[in-house]
Amino acid sequence: MAAMAQREAGMIRAAASSSRLVQRLLARAEQIAATRAAARRRERRAPGSEWRSAKALWPDFTADIASTNRTGN
């Protein structure tokens, strides 16, 4: 009987610890999702923010300027 009670107590502890683990994993998943959602909102608020330089928009334009400066034309 005592061995059976110990086994049951061990199973209860294992179930409780796995339940806590699942809760921690769910909380972490919610944090990750919230962080990614915030990043997407920031991207949406500043559309085209990656196109802030003329070189990024018109690479040939800046190359023409550089070659003109070198040749003096």
Tell me, yes or no, whether 28 lies in a domain.
yes
Residue 40: give the domain boundaries. 1-47
Tell me, yes or no, whether 59 lies in a domain.
no
Tell me, yes or no, whether 13 lies in a domain.
yes
Tell me, yes or no, whether 3 lies in a domain.
yes
Confidence of residue 1 (pLDDT cuts 50, 70, 90): low
25-38 confidence digits (pLDDT tens): 999 999 999 999 99
Tell me, yes or no, whether 6 lies in a domain.
yes
Confidence (pLDDT) at 49: 57
43-66 confidence digits (pLDDT tens): 776 666 555 666 666 667 666 666
Confidence (pLDDT) at 22: 92
Contact 61, 54 (CB under 8 A): yes
The count of domains in the chain is: 1
Tell me, yes or no, whether 64 lies in a domain.
no
